[in-house]
Amino acid sequence: MQASSLNQETVNDTAKLMMHRLIARLLVRDPLLLDRARVSLDQMSVLFPDRSFVVEWEELLRLPPRQLRVLLTSRNQHMRRLRLSSPFLTAVDFRDQNLRRRIRRAAKRIVARAARRVGGHNQAIQPRAA
């Protein structure tokens, strides 16, 4: 399956899930990452004061780290939506273009593999774990 025929929203969601899996692992080694995410969320709340995702992330960032790590990597629709506004994406340095390209290529492979399993209909695919 060609990359151009893949559902790009599904590829993006898969890439964000992969990034949050990396973040969940980093949280184990770097507890200060949680503080950086809180600072990032504070900055976001100034730009988006009345947005529901700010309150939702505030609640998540108060959870015990173990529970937060589980939610960060959850495939449910609620977390998929929240990953779009994640304060962790600015708290962790994802500016490395090589890393971003590798994640994007891996996400495309996962979505393509899932699409082949369901006969080429990738509009509503739930990507498998990488």
Q: Is residue 124 part of a domain?
A: no
> Which domain covers residue 90, as residue numbers?
3-117
- pLDDT for 91 equals 87
Task: In whole angstroms, give the CA distance from residue 67 to residue 78.
Answer: 15
Structure confidence by residue, pLDDT tens digits, 77-121: 999 999 999 999 988 888 899 999 999 999 999 999 998 887 655
Q: Is residue 64 part of a domain?
A: yes
Percent of the chain at pLDDT exceeding 90: 76
Q: At residue 129, does pLDDT exceed 80?
A: no
Task: In whole angstroms, give the CA distance from residue 36 to residue 13.
Answer: 23
For the chain, what is the total number of helices (H) and then of strands (E)? Answer: 7, 0
Q: Is residue 130 part of a domain?
A: no
For residues 4-26, average pLDDT: 93
- pLDDT for 8 equals 94
Task: Report the domain count for the chain.
Answer: 1
